[in-house]
Amino acid sequence: MHPEIEDAVDRALAEDIGAGDVTSEACIPPEQAARGRFLARQPQVLAGLDLLALIYSKRGGVDALELRKRDGDRAEDGEVIARVQGRARTLLECERVALNFLQRLSGIATLARQFTERVAGTRCRILDTRKTTPGLRRLEKMAAAAGGVKNHRMGLWDAILIKNNHIAAAGGVRAALERAQVTGLSIEIEVRTRQELDEALQWGAKSLLLDNLTPAEAAEWVRVIAGRATVELSGGITLDNVRAYAETGADFISSGAITHSAPATDISFRLDLL
């Protein structure tokens, strides 16, 4: 497991359990055994299941864990997605952290799958963005990928994306591109006007970001670009209009909503004593 993920789990457990689960300690004998099951309470695409083993390993006292689904699988309402058996106190003190991760990440995977299904049959791929919960980016991007979305940049360090403020600070499209090209990294540049588009193509841009265009405007710009660069569309794109944008001929569509606005799915945990 990546250190960032282990750290996120450690922080979540410390935040919720603190010095100890006083309710479970007061009500339940330490030797009491139990089994629990995680149930989907709505149709959804799952993500975060592999975190269960890590969560329980941090607290101890779990004898068996059965994952009945994998990340990216669909689950229907009422379907059991995982079973666990062990010390009742452990199962209860880990319940909310486990559900928080599963519900949040499955919500992202579910919305990601909805976006990818809306553009099926086109040449367009859906991308995620850096609009993630602070500290949870790796997990949220893993969930987006489980839903079928292509991960874009993980951070500011792994690819160059020249946006409008970079262009302004650099002194223009040409200056920004010339300075970026010496890095040898992949470069994408945002263009907002036809003049910027022409200048970017003239100075060797191979990947373009077109922001806040209507589908009709985007289709016209794609025709002008004519395959000289790959095209990503962003801004104001929803489940209702993503198909229209995909049919413009763009290569990619990015949506921040996949990570910043995905509603958590409904998953419950049921406990039985042994």
What is the band of 1 on the pLDDT scale with cuts at 50, 70, 90? confident
Q: Specify the pTM.
A: 0.95
* Domains of the chain, each with CATH number or no CATH: 3-112+263-273 (3.90.1170.20), 115-260 (3.20.20.70)
Per-residue pLDDT averaged across 27-46, rounded? 97
Per-residue pLDDT averaged across 65-91, rounded? 98
Other CB atoms within a 10 A radius of the CB of residue 234 amount to 20
Of the ranges 100-109, 154-163, 184-193, the best mean pLDDT one:
100-109
Residue given tokens 């497991």 in the structure block = 1
What is the band of 109 on the pLDDT scale with cuts at 50, 70, 90? very high
What is the band of 187 on the pLDDT scale with cuts at 50, 70, 90? very high
d(CA 78, CA 40): 5
Predicted confidence (pLDDT) at residue 147 exceeds the cutoff of 90: yes
Predicted confidence (pLDDT) at residue 184 exceeds the cutoff of 90: no
Q: Which amino acid is at 104?
A: R
CB 252, CB 125: distance < 8 Å: yes
Which pLDDT value is given to residue 81? 98
Enumerate the active-site residues. 96, 131, 163, 190, 211
Q: What sign for the dihedral angle of Cα 200, 202, 205, 210?
A: positive
Average pLDDT of the residues of the chain: 96
Per-residue pLDDT averaged across 173-192, rounded? 93
Per-residue pLDDT averaged across 41-48, rounded? 98
* pLDDT tens digits, 113-135: 999 999 999 999 999 999 999 99
Kindly state the tokens that stand for 152. Answer: 């874009």
Q: b/e map of 204-213 (b: 16 or more CB within 10 Å)?
A: ebebbbbeeb
- Residue closest to 84 by CA, chosen among 121, 47, 51: 51
CB 191, CB 218: distance < 8 Å: no
What is the band of 217 on the pLDDT scale with cuts at 50, 70, 90? very high
Secondary structure of the chain: what % helix, strand, coil (to 5)? Answer: 40, 20, 35
